Amino acid sequence: MRPAHLRMTAVLLVAHGSSDPRAAAATRALTRAVAAQRPGLDVRCAFLDHAGPRPGEQLFAFSALGHARAVVVPLLLTSAYHGRVDLPAVLDRARADGLRMSVTTTAVLGDGTPPLLLAALRRLLPPIAYDGVVLAAAGTRDDLARHSVDVAAGALGASLGVACHAAYASGSPVTGAVAVEALRARGCSRIVISSYFLAPGRLHDTVVDSALAAGALSPVAPPLGGNLDLARLVMSRIDSFGLVRAA
């Protein structure tokens, strides 16, 4: 039997979800990587859309097992609509349906551009010479959320000592091709692509294909997926509440 203090707090990683099966596979890989950080901790994943299970289902399953509380980690890189509106609405619905356990929600993973996120992005870059980086992101019409990606691009570039420009699949005129041209205007000639995505899918392919068509180099850095640094970042979000102790 698991120690009581681990049995009483559960962790739910909530992703947006995608019709692309690769996205769910990447989320489950991250879930396994997070669980490996704290053996005995009950860590599960859920999806807001497309794939299942849904967050409410998993929370009721936790409650049925006797967990007193759950920590919900939004698997999102920006505080856009899904984090600010969709997820709170789902949790409110679960409470309205009778969920009685305590549920705490952490900040999104990209909040504050944490060092572990930058470490994951650096680790996944292709092992080739480059002097510029496109940070390829999904995009949103939310100005503050897009600004946070621009901040992340600046931080990544500073940590690498090269120019870095954000690019978006939607919600912005700054496509992958536009970002490549902007980097060329700054004197960059060997431009690689960093994926500011947690999982592959249509939006990832859109922004990456645009940058490649404009002359960015391959191979492309894969989405963050089950990267160890990202798993450690998730665990640090959980630990910031002091609800889950080490075994």
Mean pLDDT of 73-101: 85
Mean pLDDT of the chain: 91
Provide the residue ranges of all domains of the chain, joining segments of one domain with +. Answer: 4-109+227-239, 126-213
Query: Which pLDDT score, from 0 to 100, does residue 12 have?
Result: 97
pLDDT for position 246:
43
Whether residue 134 is predicted with pLDDT greater than 60 in this model: the reply is yes
Residue with tokens 């980086």: 133
At 79 the pLDDT is: 79
Task: Tell me the residue type at 85.
Answer: V
Q: Is 81's pLDDT higher than 70?
A: no
| pTM exceeding 0.85 | yes
Q: Which two tokens stand for residue 215?
A: 């002359």
- Provide the 3-class DSSP secondary structure of residue 194: strand
Q: Please give the pLDDT value at position 245.
A: 52
The strand order across the sheet containing 9-15 reads 42-47, 9-15, 69-74, 102-105
Q: What pLDDT score was predicted for residue 226?
A: 86
Which pLDDT band, with edges at 50, 70 and 90, does 9 fall under? confident
Task: Please give the pLDDT value at position 130.
Answer: 98
Domain 4-109+227-239 matching CATH 3.20.20.140: the answer reads no
Segment of 1-5, 45-49, 76-80, 82-86 carrying the highest mean pLDDT: 45-49
Residue 236: is its pLDDT beyond 50? yes
The model's confidence at residue 83, banded by pLDDT at 50, 70 and 90, is low
Give residue 247's pLDDT: 40
Q: What is the mean pLDDT of residues 213-226?
A: 96
Asked if residues 130 and 92 have their Cβ atoms less than 8 Å apart, the reply is: no
Predicted confidence at residue 243, as pLDDT, reads 62
Q: Can you say whether the dihedral through the CA atoms of 74, 78, 79, 82 is positive or negative?
A: negative
Q: Is the pLDDT of residue 89 over 50?
A: yes
